[in-house]
Amino acid sequence: MKNLIIASTSTIYGSGFLEYLLPELREHFKSIKSLLFIPYARPGGISHEAYTEAVAKSMQSLSIAVHGIHEFDDPEKAIEKAEAIFVGGGNTFVLLKALQQKKLIDPLRIVLDKGTPYLGTSAGSNIVAPNVKTTNDMPIVHPTSLDALNLIPFNINAHYLDPIKNSTHKGETRPTRIKEFHVYNSETVLGLREGSWISVKGEKMLLKGPFSAVVFRRNMNPFEIETDSDLGILLT
């Protein structure tokens, strides 16, 4: 039974790393003593060691020990044996390419499908979807494919931003980019605002956090979905 938290961001403005999620994580990780952290997305090019250290610090208040996957000789076995797994944010292309090169896509999908508790933030949330073609990140490396774990039936747009009214900038807005995505792809996209997350328990998917989210479906106008809504509606 899938048991996932899929968060737009690790950090909200004016708050520490993962701080806003701690009440939810206390419940999500309640029987967990150790967490496997996958630091491959490397925000700002940070080292695996430094990134893992930041996660370990944030998990202290939950009394959870954190180990980075880079500490293990056999990362596939580390995934199979993990009590719980967290994939942090950074660059989605860098993350996906590392998982592909180390042949960890299938092992990760298998354990998450079986119920290993998972936390994804930002890039770590994008990879739970059918593909990462709705990332906001810069394609600084080139993965062999943009297909991802496909554990939920829709794509994520993390750090979702509403268009800025009266902007003079001519670069595309987020809704314009997602509309272009739907010229070539059929997956529904959920625009997840910073501070919101999706809770997946088996086939039950709920939108959580303080904000509504925006649903983009092919050939339809985008619409808002309220927090605490059942996201099963996105399946049909």
The catalytic site residues sit at 122, 137, 159
From the list 25-33, 62-70, 126-134, 202-210, the region that binds a copy of itself by CB under 8 A is: 126-134
Strand-pairing partners, residue 179, are: none
Among 180, 203, 228, 230, binds a copy of itself (CB under 8 A): 180
Nearest residue to 228 (alpha-carbon basis) of 202, 205, 195: 205
CA-based torsion, 219, 220, 224, 227: positive or negative = negative
Angle at 146 between CA 206 and CA 89, to 5 degrees: 55
- Cα distance between residue 224 and residue 229, in whole Å: 11
Instruction: In angstroms, give the least distance from the CB of 183 to a copy of itself.
Output: 4
Which of residues 116 and 196 has its CB atom nearest to a copy of itself in the complex? Answer: 196
Sign of the dihedral through C-alpha 93, 94, 96, 101? positive
Task: Choose between 12 and 36: whose C-beta lies nearer to a copy of itself.
Answer: 12
Q: Are 190 and 41 in contact (CB under 8 A)?
A: no
**Which residues within the stretch 1-60 sit at the binding site for a copy of itself (CB under 8 A)?**
9, 11-14, 42-45
Q: Is 219 one of the binding residues for a copy of itself (CB under 8 A)? A: no
Q: How far is the CB of 48 from a copy of itself (least distance, A)?
A: 13
Q: Tell me the per-residue interface mask from 131 to 170 with a copy of itself, x by CB under 8 A, - otherwise.
A: -xxxxxxxxxxx--xx-----------xx-x------xxx
User: How would you label 185-194 residue by residue, b for 16+ Cβ within 10 Å and e otherwise?
Assistant: bebbbbbbbb
Residues near a copy of itself, by CB under 8 A: 9, 11-14, 42-45, 90-91, 93-94, 132-142, 145-146, 158-159, 161, 168-172, 176-185, 194
